[in-house]
Structure 1
């Protein structure tokens, strides 16, 4: 996303981007947004680590007259200029529909969710269950978006003979699960199908067979900067923009990898 944002902003010398990374620390993110408010930035782009705790400070910025783009994850308010994201509920449903084509009814699925106080995890979980809950036995654990957490919690399960498929809310957690299971029982790892979301690190994993598939979560950095510039020029923007997802499997992973390398 940052590469795309910087490439788009480079077209316009009047634009400069200042980035703060909260490293999954919600309070740090709130403090960083406060610093941007105090610095009187011309526009804020916020990807909330957690929806509810970040809402008050995001609303405060908007109500003070700072145009605000909510990117990727939602807040619990409509006090923002625009929201740009993919539809995580639909992505969850797409995963469920895909699983219906590759897994026999009555199979057991291990779902590894992201942080359940973040909107993508909640929506991906609900969308997935809308398609899969009646056909399969679903066991859900939280990986908090972090491969180390997923690794620890999958390892704690001890055995994997009854698992037919692992669906993780991002590729990093899916690969962490694969690594744990492969180290414990390589035959199980070969039998179990692993599916992730993002199609970033997951593209290579699809190509080498560790992942059955991944679902593209569009980074959209160029779109974010394009909309930001429209706002700064005083032009009208929509209240929300939806970015499109897609299935990435062995049939199209080479093409996507080539496209990503070209962007870089």
Structure 2
């Protein structure tokens, strides 16, 4: 079958599915960047040259994917684009066209318009603003170009063929469960929280999950401040918190990028009486956990591999493949990645895919 006929058939199927309406299927699953191919091939980690015949990684028709994400103004976002490019490079049948990262909604809309006009086979999009990007994503879908929505959801589920998400509420639950385990029945433990930007739903979800998990062991949040996901904001928020709270037993910081500033404030204050758990899962946080020389004892992962998984799913969609570990013959509508806690006991399992702050 020719590439042209394959692409046209795929686009007709996507457009028909959009018009007919699609029931949303939620699947809690994590796709992997690991290779199941030939261990003797050192140049790939899951790409086509190492794939067994008949596997999803076996080379197929060329797939042109447009990719757009916000500006890489902190480590996690930088890793989003880098990881997407690295996975695309593993496949000799994928051409990834990366738009320049932007925090201007109008610029990002124009990027997607360009991808549509160029006739790409699929679009992987981490929107700066999910609501604002919904109309242009719907336009792409109506023209038979599948959109893979990453991290920040659209207002209309029909604006994406697949949505790949982290688990913000689950991050809070994981952090709270870790605190409960470490408290070991001590209902007098003093718990503090340094959140991200309070106006964002993701921050609200993380805080709600944390509160809900703590309630299971009879604890609550005694002191809470909000920062802004930056090093400077983290240091300022932590300084204020430490001044207001003369005693802390456990501290959850939502974001490891702002955690660089949080740890600086803790060191400047000479405080070491508590245990801290971070958030997002940066490499420098994990190295600190490995070294065991600070109050930081754990972090909760919010995967920066979401766009990389989006690239893999886009390739499967265009080539008419499914997720090989599922019985279902179609790629699912939603993939939500897990939020595990990383400690000194399991840090080696996660550090290789961690992002640099």
Q: Alignment partner for residue 231 of structure 1, among 317, 330, 343?
A: 317
Task: Provide the rounded CA distance (Å) in 2 between the counterparts of 1:250 and 1:91.
Answer: 18
Residue 149 in structure 1 maps to residue 233 in structure 2: yes
TM-score by length of 1: 0.82
Q: Higher RCO, 1 or 2 (CA under 8 Å, sep at least 6)?
A: 2
Q: 1:161 corresponds to which residue? A: 246
Task: Provide the rounded CA distance (Å) in 2 between the counterparts of 1:59 and 1:152.
Answer: 41
Task: Provide the rounded CA distance (Å) in 1 between the counterparts of 2:136 and 2:347.
Answer: 40
Q: Alignment partner for residue 176 of structure 2, among 79, 91, 96?
A: 96
SS in 2 for 1:205: helix
Task: Provide the rounded CA distance (Å) in 1 between the counterparts of 2:308 and 2:114.
Answer: 27
What per-residue deviation string (whole Å, max 9, x for no partner) do you get for residues 49-80 of structure 1? 44444445544544555422111232332121
TM-aligned CA distance change 1:52 to 1:204, over 3 Å? same
Q: 1:136 corresponds to which residue? A: 220
TM-aligned CA distance change 1:246 to 1:3, over 3 Å? same
Q: Alignment partner for residue 152 of structure 2, among 73, 88, 96?
A: 73
Q: 1:208 corresponds to which residue? A: 291
CA RMSD of aligned residues (A): 2.6
Q: CA deviation at 1:88?
A: 2.1
Task: Provide the rounded CA distance (Å) in 2 between the counterparts of 1:255 and 1:241.
Answer: 21
Residue 196 in structure 1 maps to residue 278 in structure 2: yes
Q: CA deviation at 1:239?
A: 0.8
TM-aligned CA distance change 1:118 to 1:46, over 3 Å? farther
Q: CA deviation at 1:83?
A: 0.6
What per-residue deviation string (whole Å, max 9, x for no partner) do you get for residues 217-258 of structure 1? 23334422110112223554211012233221111223433x
Counterpart contact for 2:193–2:221, Cα < 8 Å: no
Unaligned runs of 5+ in 2: 1-79, 322-329
Counterpart contact for 1:112–1:173, Cα < 8 Å: no
Task: Provide the rounded CA distance (Å) in 1 between the counterparts of 2:199 and 2:134.
Answer: 12
Residue 247 in structure 1 maps to residue 341 in structure 2: yes
Task: Provide the rounded CA distance (Å) in 1 between the counterparts of 2:275 and 2:95.
Answer: 45
TM-score by length of 2: 0.63
Q: CA deviation at 1:130?
A: 0.8
What per-residue deviation string (whole Å, max 9, x for no partner) do you get for residues 195-218 of structure 1? 112222321121233311011223
Q: 2:196 corresponds to which residue? A: 114
Max Rg structure = 2
SS in 2 for 1:196: strand
Number of residue-to-residue matches in the alignment: 253
SS in 1 for 2:344: coil
